Amino acid sequence: MTFNASGDGFVVFDRVQKSYDGEVLVVKDLNLSIGKGEFLTMLGPSGSGKTTCLMMLAGFETATHGEITLAGRPINQVPPHERGIGMVFQNYALFPHMTVGENLSFPLEVRGMGKSEREAKVMRALDMVQMGKFANRRPAQLSGGQQQRIALARALVFDPELVLMDEPLGALDKQLREHMQYEIKHLHESLGITVVYVTHDQGEALTMSDRVAVFNDGRIQQLAPPDELYERPNNSFVAGFIGENNKLLGTVEDFDDAKTTVRLATGELIEATPVNIRAKGQKTMVSIRPERVEFKPEMMPPGAHTIAAEVLEVIYMGDIFRTRLRVAGSDDFVMKSRNTLGQTKLVPGQAVNIGWHPADARALDPV
């Protein structure tokens, strides 16, 4: 999927701010360009500002400062129903007194479309979500997953160029939620529409998105494709929020553009990739992903850094073993190892040497 994410984006937030009380900003100087055809996810904890941004784009909230444009058109003063945007909510927002077909037909009637054209578009949208046989049922006769498919079809039925989704899968069970993630992703790819998606589920964001904007405290902390976000987090918040992450606290002993040497609180020296390291003596948090840690000498990458550890807990999770270790004074260091034939079984109390490549360690701002 290709899209244009340059300065002349399809959706542009230009220095947008939002305050509900005139004092506290819940969105702070947001500058964001979303390319036509892009799937962009706004990800963050509750209260980070992501949903407020979506509501301003939809027209249900008004920006306190700044401008939002859609296809080059300022929309701050445009009512929601005139923006031509499809919306999907967590609670489905279907009309209970209408059939599925009538729910989908309603936005077409509002746009003055004739009956035969409405019927054709309704069936086309239902077929997109494999719900063509359910046109005459009412929402109460459908499961949660079926209702969410209908809500998605209703957002697509009038061929919008932009669809907004606010935690649309939050009410579904894990297996169905994961299945719907792929369905939405494939629909996006086949239709070429622009999607702005809001979630607090980092796995969901990594699975579906072209780019992810990680929000915290009303600001975007990092905007990047999923793999870059996971592999190269900009700060300790992003590293901690995206996936599981080991944290070793220490002090910068030496650094250049390529690497930094960090002395841990227990005295060990380790090397890491510097991120926002500015001076010797600076406090830092070294971030290491659990799946990049190895305890078998033959499996350690060339140039691996090794350190002594004690096994505290081993949890069998089917496809992996999750091992909690005591490392450099921390009891929360985690290693994930694949469950393979002949896998060495570690036991609590066992002393091991673990290792990782210095390129997999990032020296970030302290937590």
Q: What is the mean pLDDT of the chain?
A: 91
> Where does a domain end: 236, 264, 299?
236
Both 296 and 202 in one domain: the answer is: no
- pLDDT at 223 (0 to 100): 97
> Where does a domain end: 203, 236, 269?
236
Any domain includes 47: yes
The count of domains in the chain is 2
Mean pLDDT of 17-43: 95
Any domain includes 290: yes
> Where does a domain end: 212, 236, 260?
236
Question: Which residue has tokens 């896998």?
Answer: 343
Both 329 and 249 in one domain: the answer is: yes
Mean pLDDT of 363-367: 85
Distance, first Cα to last Cα, the chain? 36
Both 200 and 280 in one domain: the answer is: no
For residue 291, give its domain range.
Answer: 245-364
Dist CA 287 CA 268 (whole Å): 15
Q: Report how far apart, in Å, the C-alpha atoms of 265 and of each of 78, 268, 272, 286, 338 are.
A: 56, 8, 15, 12, 30
Q: Would you state the structure tokens that stand for residue 202, as one six-digit string?
A: 């980092």
* Rounded-to-5 percentages of helix, strand, coil across the chain: 30, 35, 40
Q: Structure pTM?
A: 0.88
Q: Taking 50 as the threshold, does the pLDDT of residue 1 lie above it?
A: no
Give 66-102 pLDDT, tens digit per residue: 999 999 999 999 999 899 999 998 777 888 999 999 9
Both 181 and 303 in one domain: the answer is: no
Both 93 and 174 in one domain: the answer is: yes
SS3 label, residue 128: helix
Mean pLDDT of 231-254: 92
Any domain includes 325: yes
Q: What is the CATH number of the domain that holds 305?
A: 2.40.50.140
Give 136-158 pLDDT, tens digit per residue: 999 999 988 899 889 899 999 98
Residue 191, Cβ density class (10 Å: 0-12 exposed, 13-18 middle, ≥19 buried): middle
Q: What is the CATH number of the domain that holds 30?
A: 3.40.50.300
Both 203 and 272 in one domain: the answer is: no
R_g (Cα) of the chain, nearest Å: 24
Cβ atoms 109, 98 nearer than 8 A: no
Cβ atoms 12, 19 nearer than 8 A: no
Both 359 and 290 in one domain: the answer is: yes
